[in-house]
Amino acid sequence: MATKPLLLSFAFCFLLAFHGCLASQRYRTTQEQGECQIDRLDALEPTNRIQCEAGLVESWDQNHDMFRCTGVAMVRHTIEPNGLLLPSFTNSPQLIYIVEGEGIQGAVIPGCPETFQSSQQSQFGRQFGQGGQMRGGEGRRFPDEHQKIRRFRQGDIIALPTGVAHWVYNDGNRPIIAVILLDVTNSENQLDLNPRRFFLAGNPQNEHEQGGQRWQGRQGSSQRQRRFQPFGRGEEGQQGGQCKNIFCGFDARLLAEAFNVDLETVRRLQNENDNRNNIVRVEGGLQVVRPPRELGGRRWEEEREGEREGYGGRGRRGRYDMNGLEETLCTMRLRENIGNPSRADVYTQQAGHISTLNSNNLPILYWLQLSAERGRLHRDAIMVPHYNLNCHSVVYAIRGSARIQVVNDEGQTVFDEELREGQLVVVPQNFAVVKRAENEEFEWVSFKTNDNAMVSPLAGRTSVLRALPDEVVANAYRVSRDDAKRLKYNRRETTVFTSRRGGGSFSERRAEA
């Protein structure tokens, strides 16, 4: 009898344990007095653009105050069909939103077993992509095995812990567009506030080297670096600056020993003269072991993966059992769809809907201290003025546009612009914000720097004003009690409403009560 509640207790502990823990000091900079003046925000598009063989890596200017002061970085990946995003990891947790497309994704979790295995002949060879033919003779003879592969599609959020390598492959027939938050101020990052991507393969440009700035700095100190001229590298060595994945810095002979392969193969690890950048084309489609896509008529990706890690306690523990198999962590759910209106948390036929994803829905978000919100406003609809109590919010426009206003602690408007498809704006903690779809529908995703972001509406059914006694409202704003009641009750909707229609007059409300 005690077992069941006990599991609950585990879950609970887990729920409790990490809240706020990981959310460390953000927004601090190194300016005088630890101040970070945000006098103005901007609707920004990516300013850095790296063309890859089969896609595009774009990033937002990390030096903009908006990012610098909130300690986040933003990247956008476009992966063409048959494109493979090479494995890499970052010095911060990542939260990925799939704007468009579908594909498969592998996250490499140290210590987890290779649980996806092809049997000798029969199962193996199941194939992704358009092509249907078997490739490579040896593929039939020796089974492939690797860690779990996860399918994703438009509207998914994918969560990745710090240091976990992952790769993505587009097996669909249109580009994947993914927007990625890197939370560099997260406590999981013990390095500095630069977003840093460590590449396991390829020879890619760093996505955050805006205008060559950081790069320049390092070039300038090349004299100093020369002192490191590795002693055993000689002829196997790399030309300076040519090779950029993490194998490049190792002595080729040492690597050859480590992998027990010949120098020729090691040179391939170091990917000399590879100009494909971080997204490469897979000719003929990528063959990997995976369950059949159809499962009794239903596509498997609709299945809820990893249900059994619903309680995160064991996962948490497991995470740090790096030696040997840790079932729970290894099967942990990293993905959840918030694009489907059917799972909306706030829904009005007329005005739009909002879905939220937090650590209650996706437990791994506890570790990452991140959450997300997906919304749609119909034409002329408004999301009520509100503020985020406990986090920053990065608002990315998926489709359409909206007018957004943001107000700081001195009552000053620090943002008052249209936010258009493909642009984003960062709304700092506690700053008040209102969104209004004007001439077209507006869809957005918000990345939030707390695993259970709390919103405090300033108007509507759950607003701050409703929580105040009539006379406090009346005295605060020097209005009559009638007007106080109007301010409290005239807007009866929660969160979203259509402005033209209005929300009913005060007298209507009276009838309702």
Could you say which residues in the range 248-267 bind a second copy, by CB under 8 A? 248-251, 254-255, 257-261, 265
Q: How far apart are CA 82 and CA 286, in angstroms?
A: 7
Binding mask 185-204 for a second copy (x = CB under 8 A): x-xxxxxxxx-xxxxxxx--
Q: Identify the burial level of 247 via C-beta atoms within 10 angstroms of its C-beta, where 0-12 means exposed, 13-18 middle and 19 or more buried.
A: buried
- Choice from 286, 332, 364, 377 touching a second copy (CB under 8 A): 286
Specify the stretch interacting with a second copy by CB under 8 A; choose among 152-160, 170-178, 287-295, 296-304: 287-295
> What would you measure as the largest C-alpha separation in the chain, in angstroms?
88
Q: Which residues contact 79 (CB under 8 A, 6 or more apart)?
A: 54, 55, 85, 101, 103, 168, 170, 175, 176, 178, 279
Q: How far apart are CA 500 and CA 127, in angstroms?
A: 53
What pairing do the DSSP bridges indicate for beta strands 352-357 and 346-348? antiparallel
User: Residue 35 or residue 302: which is nearer to a second copy going by CB?
Assistant: 35
What pairing do the DSSP bridges indicate for beta strands 298-299 and 335-337? unpaired
* Size of residue set near a second copy by CB under 8 A: 207
**Residues 403 to 432 in contact with a second copy, rule: CB under 8 A:** 403, 405-416, 428-430, 432
To a second copy, the closest distance from the beta carbon of 353 in angstroms equals 13
Q: Which residues contact 72 (CB under 8 A, 6 or more apart)?
A: 181, 182, 183, 184, 185, 392, 394, 426, 447, 449
What torsion do the CA atoms of 421, 422, 428, 432 make, to the nearest 10 degrees? 0
To a second copy, the closest distance from the beta carbon of 420 in angstroms equals 15
To a second copy, the closest distance from the beta carbon of 29 in angstroms equals 7
The answer to the question of residue 511 lying near a second copy (CB under 8 A) is no
The answer to the question of residue 275 lying near a second copy (CB under 8 A) is no
Specify the stretch interacting with a second copy by CB under 8 A; choose among 141-149, 151-159, 297-305, 439-447: 141-149
Report the SS3 class of residue 2: coil
The answer to the question of residue 246 lying near a second copy (CB under 8 A) is yes
- Choice from 48, 170, 206, 277 touching a second copy (CB under 8 A): 206
- The residues facing 105 across adjacent strands are 150, 168
To a second copy, the closest distance from the beta carbon of 74 in angstroms equals 17
Q: How far apart are CA 385 and CA 333, in angstroms?
A: 34
The answer to the question of residue 122 lying near a second copy (CB under 8 A) is no
Q: How far apart are CA 458 and CA 146, in angstroms?
A: 51
What torsion do the CA atoms of 370, 339, 59, 430 make, to the nearest 10 degrees? -40
Specify the stretch interacting with a second copy by CB under 8 A; choose among 22-30, 291-299, 331-339, 394-402: 22-30
Q: How far apart are CA 336 and CA 4, in angstroms?
A: 26
**Residues 321 to 340 in contact with a second copy, rule: CB under 8 A:** 321-323
User: Residue 257 or residue 302: which is nearer to a second copy going by CB?
Assistant: 257
Element (H, E) at 217: helix 213-220
Straight-line distance from the first to the last Cα atom of the chain, in angstroms, rounded to the nearest whole number: 46
Specify whether the CB–CB gap between 427 and 393 falls below 8 A: yes
To a second copy, the closest distance from the beta carbon of 13 in angstroms equals 4
The answer to the question of residue 358 lying near a second copy (CB under 8 A) is yes
**Residues 361 to 380 in contact with a second copy, rule: CB under 8 A:** 367
To a second copy, the closest distance from the beta carbon of 488 in angstroms equals 9
Element (H, E) at 167: strand 165-169
Tokens 């972001």 belong to 453
The DSSP code for 44 is B
Binding mask 441-480 for a second copy (x = CB under 8 A): --------x--x-xxxxxxx-x-x-xxxxxxx--xxxxxx
Specify the stretch interacting with a second copy by CB under 8 A; choose among 73-81, 150-158, 299-307, 319-327: 319-327
The answer to the question of residue 43 lying near a second copy (CB under 8 A) is no
Tokens 């896609």 belong to 55
User: Residue 99 or residue 377: which is nearer to a second copy going by CB?
Assistant: 377
To a second copy, the closest distance from the beta carbon of 33 in angstroms equals 7
Q: How far apart are CA 47 and CA 27, in angstroms?
A: 22
**Residues 153 to 172 in contact with a second copy, rule: CB under 8 A:** 161-165, 167, 169
Specify whether the CB–CB gap between 66 and 426 falls below 8 A: yes
**Residues 377 to 406 in contact with a second copy, rule: CB under 8 A:** 382, 384-385, 387-392, 403, 405-406
User: Residue 218 or residue 298: which is nearer to a second copy going by CB?
Assistant: 218
Specify the stretch interacting with a second copy by CB under 8 A; choose among 20-28, 152-160, 300-308, 335-343: 20-28
Report the SS3 class of residue 143: coil
To a second copy, the closest distance from the beta carbon of 479 in angstroms equals 5
Specify the stretch interacting with a second copy by CB under 8 A; choose among 43-51, 130-138, 174-182, 394-402: 130-138
**Residues 49 to 108 in contact with a second copy, rule: CB under 8 A:** 63, 68-71, 84, 86-87, 89, 91, 106, 108
To a second copy, the closest distance from the beta carbon of 37 in angstroms equals 7
Q: How far apart are CA 281 and CA 52, in angstroms?
A: 9
Specify whether the CB–CB gap between 415 and 405 falls below 8 A: yes
To a second copy, the closest distance from the beta carbon of 477 in angstroms equals 5
User: Residue 25 or residue 342: which is nearer to a second copy going by CB?
Assistant: 25
Tokens of 284: 């003929």
The answer to the question of residue 344 lying near a second copy (CB under 8 A) is no
